[in-house]
Structure 1
Amino acid sequence: MEAALISSMDVTGGEQKGSPWAQPRRARPREAPPRWSDYQRDLTEDRRRAEYDHRRCRVVINVSGLKLETQPETLARFPNTLLGDPVRRQQYYDAERREYFFDRHRPSAEAILAFYQTGGKLHRPSEVPLDVFTDELRFFQLGDDVIEKYREKEGFSVASSQLSLNRDGCFGKLWLFLELPGSSVWAKLYAVLCVCFILLSISSLCLETLPGFSERAQNPEVEFTTEFFWIETVCVAWFTLEVVLRFVACPSKKDYFRSVLNVFDILAIVPYFITVSVVLASKGETSGLYRKASLTLRLMRLVRVLRIFKLSRYSEGLKMMGSTLAGSGSDIGMLLVFMVILVILFASAIYFVEQLQPEDSESHFSSIPDAFWWAIVTMVTLGYGDTYPQTGAGKFVGSLCALAGILTISLPVPVIVTQFDRLYNQRMEKDWEERTKKNVQGTEEVD
């Protein structure tokens, strides 16, 4: 009975065959093979996704035909700049070419992009002029701090070397009047008057040494009665007034004494007061004290020559020359070291070589220090002819000395010229900024 019941059951379905609850077996559907159109659609979608990822990970910058590529994360390091802010640079986007186009200076583009890549290091290409590179920095909005650091690096910023001009208050206006001759008409007249006093003082110092006046000028007893003394008194009174006004109006008293021109101003008037004091103290004294006083006066007259440097305060060319020499101090120091080494070397060589000449002829070089003068005038190609080698070997040493001097002196010349060119461009940019500022102010007043 049980066996018949089991045999009547469907082994797979667990139900009896012929039962009304039995379900018909359904065939498993087959998967259709992929069509070629589906494959092309998937491939196109993958390409679009790859293109989107490429555009998202790369930013193409076209600067007058020069294409540069970088990542958005690189530009985002400086979000306050033109390239770092997506909103600011959106106006330069070319949707057809999928790039940002800038009609700007091409040689400066790589240096500006390197600023983002290096995290803020800015280096100007040697072939790019200073003013052009500065304009590019302003266009790409790298920021005033970055531009100011660049100007300091290139020597453009003069804030550290000049005293700040405080235009507020009476002392500020007085300081502006004294420091900037171009600030007003009265300031220009004052500068012209100062130059006249400087020239008068220097001319008096030179004329005082003429044969007709030198005897009286060197005699302290008649110092107070000569016309040169009264000219000197008037000039010193003017210079003293100028020093006092500058010191009173100076915003920083410490910076006042750090200025080389201010030190020259003080040294220009000190000899006069020392001279008057020495002459008054030596009157009626012994001849020994009188001779010492006379020697002191001669030394004081030598210090008066420093007044010629006061002209640099009113001459931009002299200022640039002084700044050039100051900026090239290390190169000039290196030149002097080489010169000292070569002078000692060739002076020693010429001394020992000239000792080999016959006994009947006398050498022009009695010692090595005596040959220093010959080595110096030979290296700078002056050749006074007061001392000269007489032997063939000595003439050969002299030729080498002259050649070494030419090569040594010519080495720092390009550095000094580059320094002067940099300061000249600095001055031109400063004048351009002042003219632009005046034009903007004039336009605002008209509006």
Structure 2
Amino acid sequence: MIVVFGLEYIIRVWSAGCCCRYRGWQGRFRFARKPFCVIDFIVFVASVAVIAAGTQGNIFATSALRSMRFLQILRMVRMDRRGGTWKLLGSVVYAHSKELITAWYIGFLVLIFASFLVYLAEKDANSDFSSYADSLWWGTITLTTIGYGDKTPHTWLGRVLAAGFALLGISFFALPAGILGSGFALKVQEQHRQKHFEKRRMPAANLIQAAWRLYSTDSSRAYLTATWYYYDSILPSFSWREEEAAGPRCLRLR
């Protein structure tokens, strides 16, 4: 597999010269610096290093290099070479950046205030909230709905504050998921609409061109000087004539 993977990488870099942007050694080197090519090269080198160390019998080197096997997971990234998934995600985030920033900003403020107030209410009666960092950890786990349960408020004031800020904060921390979900749905719908438009554009363009050619080449419209001059310049081997005085006009070769 490593031999096939290496040959595929070499052939891909070599064949990149077919594109005018990557012609020559400098162009191929520019192609090899693309993110997906760099990932492929790192995975290939790591795989070769692990196999080479395993065959030499060096236990320390083998155990050290075996930790590099996690780089082989990066091969999964190659499944999307064109980067369509990441482009789609980036376009959705960019299109809804203001909404996301607003939701995260308000959620961050709720987290800071909730952690501080619960810390003031619990610091004397609860050893789990001995510092503001402990309270901030509790706030992060609570408002993100993870809820490990390692730290819980004991006083009634702390519980009331925790319940109120949890209801308020969770709503803002859940907003980005809804924003991204609706953004993905709108983007996919737009892509489907664009594909449908692309399928209909060429037949419509051909129909418009055919109708205009039929209209502009009619000899009864000889006053269209610009149109006839254009056709005479690009089609000098064709001319109009009348077969009969009342018959249809036709196009014949000279």
TM category, shorter = 0.5 to 0.7
2:48 is equivalent to residue 276 of structure 1: yes
Report what 2:13 is aligned to: 244
Matches for 1:110-149 after TM superposition, within 5 Å: none
Report what 1:405 is aligned to: 169
Report what 1:377 is aligned to: 141
Higher relative contact order (Cα pairs below 8 Å, separated by 6+ residues): 2
- Decide which of 413, 431, 437 is 2:195's aligned counterpart: 431
Counterparts of 2:12 and 2:143, CA distance in 1? 42
Counterparts of 1:427 and 1:397, CA distance in 2? 46
2:34 is equivalent to residue 266 of structure 1: no
Report what 1:356 is aligned to: 124
**Gap runs ≥5 in structure 1:** 1-229
**1:314-350, CA deviations, whole angstroms, 9 ceiling, x for partnerless residues?**
7967753443134434544554444444434333333
CA contact (8 A) 1:239 1:269 kept: no
Change (3 A) 1:319 1:401: same
Counterparts of 2:152 and 2:30, CA distance in 1? 46
Matches for 1:12-411 after TM superposition, within 5 Å: 230=1, 233=2, 236-237=5-6, 240=9, 244=13, 247-252=16-21, 263-264=35-36, 266-277=38-49, 280=52, 287=60, 293-294=64-65, 297-298=66-67, 300-313=68-81, 320-329=88-97, 331-357=99-125, 363-411=127-175
**1:104-144, CA deviations, whole angstroms, 9 ceiling, x for partnerless residues?**
xxxxxxxxxxxxxxxxxxxxxxxxxxxxxxxxxxxxxxxxx
Distance apart, 1:435 and its partner CA: 0.9
Aligned residues: 204
- Give the SS at the match of 1:364: helix
Output the amino acid matched with 2:136: F
Distance apart, 1:436 and its partner CA: 1.5
CA contact (8 A) 2:9 2:40 kept: no
Output the amino acid matched with 1:323: S
Compare CA radii of gyration and give the structure with the larger one.
1
- Give the SS at the match of 1:383: coil
- Give the SS at the match of 1:389: coil
Change (3 A) 1:278 1:313: closer
CA contact (8 A) 1:375 1:401 kept: no
**TM-score, length-normalised on structure 2?**
0.56
**TM-score, length-normalised on structure 1?**
0.35
**1:263-320, CA deviations, whole angstroms, 9 ceiling, x for partnerless residues?**
2453254134135336646956684x666x24xx43x444444444444457967753
Distance apart, 1:238 and its partner CA: 7.1
Change (3 A) 1:370 1:239: farther
- Give the SS at the match of 1:407: helix
Distance apart, 1:251 and its partner CA: 4.9
Counterparts of 1:339 and 1:257, CA distance in 2? 45
Change (3 A) 1:286 1:384: closer
Output the amino acid matched with 1:424: V
Change (3 A) 1:307 1:279: closer
Change (3 A) 1:247 1:315: closer
Report what 1:141 is aligned to: none
**Gap runs ≥5 in structure 2:** 211-254
Change (3 A) 1:420 1:390: same
Question: Percent of counterpart pairs with the same letter?
Answer: 23
Change (3 A) 1:245 1:375: farther
Report what 2:252 is aligned to: none
Counterparts of 2:85 and 2:102, CA distance in 1? 25
Counterparts of 1:238 and 1:408, CA distance in 2? 50
Output the amino acid matched with 1:270: I
CA contact (8 A) 1:236 1:272 kept: yes
RMSD (Å) for aligned C-alpha atoms: 4.6
Counterparts of 1:406 and 1:243, CA distance in 2? 48
Counterparts of 1:245 and 1:348, CA distance in 2? 60
Structure with the higher helix share, 1 or 2: 2
